Amino acid sequence: MPADQRIAAATGTPRDPSQAPTYSVYGAAWSGWAFVAVALTLLGIFVIGPFIMSLGLSFTNQRLVQNPNVPVQWIGLRNYVRLFEDPEFWNALKNTALFALIVVPIQSALSLSLAMLINSSLPGRNVFRTIYFLPVIITMTIICVIWGALYIFPGGALNSALSWLTFGALDPVNWLGDRNFALAAIILCSIWASVGFQMVIYLAGLQNIPEELYEAARLDEASGWQQFKWITMPMLRPTHVFVLIATTIFCFKLFTQVQILTQGGPRGATNTLVRYIYVNGFSELRVGYASAATVVFLLIVLAIAMIQRAIVGTDEA
């Protein structure tokens, strides 16, 4: 028997090349599109479609309940001009940006610290992992009700604890009624409620770092800080990109905490972009104007996400 036939018989490969199985590039492509079809459909219905509708409505005087005597008209850029001339819009943008500037670094650093803590050989680490993640699975409405009870002025649990710790030297603080403390109260509640989500993301990133890298560093007598600086942080770069972008988007979507705890007060100190859009669209029924604010809001978030990715991320990330 010739050598090629013996090899074919041993490996099960057909002797005739024409009998070899063929694979269609087009079939593989169609299979790929079939897998993502549902996701693309939902993305188009719930994200792309509404954005296109908002973009179109932003150039009209559309109202939620249209007056039959005032037809819908194309008004061009008038909504955008009014938006940029409205001091309430700039106040909401300032509050949202301040909230993000404070929450993103603190929450990211805290979540990384917690992830490293429960990734170590800590006794009962699964219990701590559950405790830290528990607020994530509780609805934000319930969390706000609980924190609202803690913030009650003057006899809430937080004021009572502060008075006890300072032996009565500290007067009760009106956390939700004082414009100097209201945003800080929202920040504290938000960090506590969401830090567990980023912790799990960082934990997954930490568990994907090869242990051999740390073993080699210990053989070279690298300190814990050096291992963190030269191994942990670089290896977590894709995770950093995701956490920073996701946390920034969550911050700019701030609504539930403000709506339940302060309703944007006191005197607009906690009003945010999303609540500004909600009030104009559903309370004041100005759908066209709210659509213009929505378009600007999306462009701001998109620009920030792209800048963060350019600064922190890489193509591989």
78: left (phi over 0), alpha (psi -120 to 50) or beta: alpha
Q: How confident is the model at residue 308 (pLDDT cuts 50, 70, 90)?
A: confident
Is the pLDDT higher at 31 or at 248?
248
Average pLDDT over every residue of 284-309 = 90
Domain assignment present for residue 54? The answer is: no
Q: Which of 1-10, 79-88, 210-219, 248-257 has the lowest mean pLDDT?
A: 1-10
- Same domain, yes or no: 14 and 99: no
Number of domains forming the structure of the chain: 2
Query: In this structure, how many other beta carbons lie within 10 angstroms of the beta carbon of residue 101?
Result: 12
In 3D space, the residue among 6, 22, 253 whose CA is nearest the CA of residue 140 turns out to be: 253
- Same domain, yes or no: 37 and 84: no
In 3D space, the residue among 112, 106, 111, 54 whose CA is nearest the CA of residue 79 turns out to be: 54
Partners of 60 in beta bridges: 74
Domain assignment present for residue 144? The answer is: yes
pLDDT at 317 over 50: no
Query: In this structure, how many other beta carbons lie within 10 angstroms of the beta carbon of residue 10?
Result: 8
pLDDT tens digits, 36-70: 888 889 888 888 888 899 899 999 998 888 777 77
Residue 122, domain extent:
80-312
- Same domain, yes or no: 35 and 85: no
pLDDT at 3 over 60: no
In 3D space, the residue among 43, 90, 100, 52 whose CA is nearest the CA of residue 303 turns out to be: 100
| CATH of residue 100 | 1.10.3720.10
Provide the token pair at 311.
């600064």
- Same domain, yes or no: 36 and 142: no
Q: Between the CA of residue 220 and those of 213, 227, 232, what are the distances in Å?
A: 11, 10, 16
What does DSSP assign to residue 266?
S
Question: Over the chain, what is the mean pLDDT?
Answer: 86
Provide the token pair at 82.
């009014």
Domain assignment present for residue 58? The answer is: no
Domain assignment present for residue 51? The answer is: no
In 3D space, the residue among 142, 151, 250 whose CA is nearest the CA of residue 191 turns out to be: 250
- Same domain, yes or no: 39 and 145: no
Q: With both helix axes pointing from N to C terminus, report the angle between 87-119 and 182-207 in degrees, rounded to the nearest 10.
A: 40
Domain assignment present for residue 170? The answer is: yes
Distance (Å, whole) CA 291 – CA 285: 11
- Same domain, yes or no: 141 and 16: no
Is the pLDDT higher at 110 or at 27?
110
Average pLDDT over every residue of 127-143 = 88
pLDDT tens digits, 71-90: 888 999 999 999 999 999 99
Average pLDDT over every residue of 177-183 = 92
- Same domain, yes or no: 216 and 267: yes
